[in-house]
Every structure is written in C-alpha cells, then in structure tokens.
Amino acid sequence: MSQTIVIAGSASLEKENQHWKSYWEKEGCEILAWPHPIAPEKFAEQYPDVHRHFFRSIETADLFFLMNADKKGINGYIGAESFAELAYAVTRRLLHGQKIEILLLQIPSPQVQCYDEISLWLKLGWIKVYQPQKTTTP
C-alpha cells in the first residue's frame, strides 16, 4: 500500500506545487490533496468544498508536507492558511494520536509571522524539515 500525502502551501506557486506533486508521485505516494488555484469567478462557490476536502484529507494522510517555498521576498514563506493546515496536522497528531509525519520544505525566515511556533515545534520534534534521501552511485 502506498503512503498517502497532503501537500500544503501557496496555491499561487503553481510551478513549485506541480514540481512537488510530481516528485511525491514518483516516490510512490498517493496525493490526497495539494494546492492549486481556483478560478476567481468560481472562488466563493468552490472554496468551502475545496477547504473542507483539504482538511478531511489531512485527517487520513500518512504524511503532511508543507511546501513553504520562497515567496514575496521571504525565505520559507508560510501564509496564514498554510499555518492553519499545519496546525491542524499537529493537532491531529497530538490530540487524536494520528500517525502522521509532518515535514516542512525548509526552515522559514524569522520574518514569517509563525516563526516562533515553527521553531518550538521543530525543537519539540512535532515537525521536521524535509531531508531528501541521498542515493549513492558507484
């Protein structure tokens, strides 16, 4: 059985999101949810269902990957919605015993509003920074 994953991050970073979606699929993961834009003319109509689906996917995922790429001139940018999704994954793990691995793409800049919480959660071992598996070639 393949590992299930939710990829979180800014929907406006389409190139980066597609890269990581393809990356995790090549790793054999089943993508349950990932950020992608909603057409502006359908946003109000579709957003509640998209949001609900995203949080329900976190409830069943084996892995939560926060693709916190650089954005707005800030390294490791994490917006309010991505932080809410991350906090939900942490809450699922702490309160409900969900066996979910929680990974960040990179440590955020101190400019990121939730930097202090991220630093604490890293220190406590609740989340980790992604370390790709290095393969050696002969």
Residue 58 scores a pLDDT above 60? yes
Average pLDDT over residues 11-38: 96
55, burial (CB in 10 Å: exposed 0-12, middle 13-18, buried 19+): middle
pLDDT digit string, tens, across residues 61-109: 999 999 999 999 999 999 999 999 999 999 999 999 999 999 999 999 9
Percent of the chain with pLDDT over 70: 96
**Six token digits for residue 123:** 């220190």
Query: Looking at residue 138, what is its pLDDT?
Result: 47
Q: Please, what are the domains in the chain?
A: 6-129 (3.40.50)
Residue 136: predicted pLDDT: 46
DSSP structure string for the chain: -PPEEEEES-TT-HHHHHHHHHHHHHTTPEEEE------GGGHHHHHHHHHHHHHHHHHH-SEEEE----BTTBTT---HHHHHHHHHHHHHHHHH----EEEESSPPPTTSTTHHHHHHHHHHTSSEE--PPPPP--
- pLDDT band of residue 9 (cuts 50, 70, 90) is very high
**pLDDT classification of 132: cutoffs 50, 70, 90:** confident
Q: What is the pLDDT of residue 2?
A: 86
**How does the average pLDDT of the chain come out, rounded?**
95
